Structure 1
Amino acid sequence: MIEEPATLQIRAKIKRPTQAQIDAFKNIPTGFLCDAMEGQGALCTSIQPVCTDGGLPLHAHGPALVADNGPAEILATMGALHIAQEGDIVVAAAHGHTDCAAAGDRFCGMMKNKGVAGFVTDGQMRDYSGIVAAGLPAWCAGLSPNSPYSNGPGKVGFGAVVGGRHIETGDIVVADRDGVVVVPFAMIDAVIAQLAAIQELEDTLDAKVQDGFCEMTKVQAMLKDGTAKLVS
């Protein structure tokens, strides 16, 4: 028989990006980040903003503080709240469990008071009106009024699979109306280095489209070199 784990484990030493690294992701669209990571990086599309009608900000960025809860559990999220630093994104792993809430309005209010920049979970949330009133940007897999438990076991400050991607504490999380993207800690500087070029390319194409551009130059080139052809 395996040894029973501690009810709650909290990592004592947590790696964190520098403030300059964090600031580089302010107001950056999630699509830009995916473009910088070979088209990848987004969590499952089931994880969406809890509010899209203007009641809450639709952009948040910061270092991940991962709370690895079991299904229907919130003990690890409680531990994350205890050690959270200003600007953190609390990421609550519910292991895809969607039959009860992973957080509600009071949790959001306390995280907001602690200076947390946002909340992300692959579980559901509840107390919609209170969440909006708390003012904390949040992304989740829907709403459920069912209550979670806080019995553990849980781990804080390590990593977990959330929305189909492994997230480690210290990774950069950026969330907006399109979804949630994770930049692994080891890739932070490489992604930052590409952002200016991606922005320039986007701005250039936007201007061309606004001026009437409507051609697929890749298709034109393929027709010209024979890799595509017109057929009757």
Structure 2
Amino acid sequence: MIEEPPLLTIRRAFPRPTAAQVAAFQDVPTGFVCDALGGQGAMNTVIRPIGGLEREVHAAGPALVADNGPAEILATVAAVHFAQPGDVIVAATHGGRNVAAAGDNLCAMMRNKGCVAFVTDGELRDYKGLMEVGLPAWCAGLNPNSPFSKGPGRVGFGATVAGRHVESGDMIVADRDGVVVVPFTRIDAVIARLEQITRLEAEAEEKVRSGYCDFPAIEAMIADGSAIVID
């Protein structure tokens, strides 16, 4: 007979980014971070910021992954207990829907613990209370149904959340455009690329403001025959 797993498995010691590494991502647009990752890195767009796109929101910090089953919350509760200031709790629900992955009180406890954001591929509830709590949160929608806390769950490991694998200790950068995961082993390389990307974006924006609207590369493709024009 297969043994039942423990209700909770918790890993407290995992590599974490340094304070300087975390600081390098503050107020950096997620689009810049994706560019530094080669054009990828974002979770599926089912994940949206609570409060809508009109609300200015940005968060950056190390992931603390709470791997729950569908309709479960025990791992998230344990993650709050073990969270460190600056953490982003990332709660996996493995595609579970029609039940809340957290509500205003649990998000308020995350805020009290010093967490900077909450990300889940599940749904949230208590919208009015969440707005009062003010913790930046990204989720798959709203639903008032209650979750269970029976386990099993895992904290401090990894999980796939909205199509993107996240390991505890990875950098999470999130804004109104979405949630991006920077693998721990690539943090320094991404930081090194961000300076160049920020400069190139500023140059491009200045050209557009000055009236730029043509693409010489398209004319070059027509000239060398790799593109044809049919009138």
CA deviation after TM superposition for structure 1 residue 225, in Å: 1.7
* Alpha carbons 2:78, 2:155 under 8 Å: kept: yes
Corresponding residue for residue 82 of structure 1 = 81
Identity of aligned residues (%): 60
Corresponding residue for residue 211 of structure 1 = 210
CA deviation after TM superposition for structure 1 residue 53, in Å: 6.3
| 1:133 pairs with 2:132 | yes
Letter in 1 for 2:30: T
* Alpha carbons 2:53, 2:176 under 8 Å: kept: no
Using the alignment, how far apart are the partners of 1:177 and 1:31 within structure 2? 10
Corresponding residue for residue 183 of structure 2 = 184
Using the alignment, how far apart are the partners of 2:54 and 2:114 within structure 1? 21
Letter in 2 for 1:29: P
* Equivalent residue runs for 1:99-114 within 5 Å: 99-114=98-113
* Alpha carbons 2:47, 2:120 under 8 Å: kept: yes
| 1:226 pairs with 2:200 | no
Corresponding residue for residue 20 of structure 1 = 20
* Alpha carbons 1:52, 1:58 under 8 Å: kept: no
CA deviation after TM superposition for structure 1 residue 221, in Å: 1.8
TM-score (norm 2): 0.98
| 1:167 pairs with 2:182 | no
* Alpha carbons 2:87, 2:115 under 8 Å: kept: yes
CA deviation digits over 1:57-93, x for unaligned, max 9?
Answer: 5100100000000000000000000000000000000
SS at 1:231's partner residue? Answer: coil
Letter in 1 for 2:107: C
* Alpha carbons 2:8, 2:153 under 8 Å: kept: yes
TM-score (norm 1): 0.97
Corresponding residue for residue 62 of structure 2 = 63
CA deviation after TM superposition for structure 1 residue 37, in Å: 1.2
CA deviation after TM superposition for structure 1 residue 104, in Å: 0.4
Corresponding residue for residue 32 of structure 1 = 32
Using the alignment, how far apart are the partners of 1:29 and 1:61 within structure 2? 10
Using the alignment, how far apart are the partners of 1:7 and 1:230 within structure 2? 64
Gaps of 5+ in 2: none
Corresponding residue for residue 197 of structure 2 = 198
SS at 2:166's partner residue? Answer: strand
Letter in 2 for 1:186: T
* Alpha carbons 1:99, 1:146 under 8 Å: kept: yes
Using the alignment, how far apart are the partners of 2:197 and 2:217 within structure 1? 19
* Alpha carbons 1:172, 1:185 under 8 Å: kept: yes
CA deviation after TM superposition for structure 1 residue 162, in Å: 0.2
Using the alignment, how far apart are the partners of 2:95 and 2:216 within structure 1? 42
Give the superposed CA RMSD: 1.1
**Runs of 4+ with >2 A deviation:** 52-55
| 1:155 pairs with 2:154 | yes
Using the alignment, how far apart are the partners of 1:105 and 1:36 within structure 2? 34
Alignment length (residue pairs): 231
Using the alignment, how far apart are the partners of 1:107 and 1:220 within structure 2? 57
CA deviation digits over 1:170-223, x for unaligned, max 9?
Answer: 000000000000000010000000001000110001001001000122212211
Gaps of 5+ in 1: none
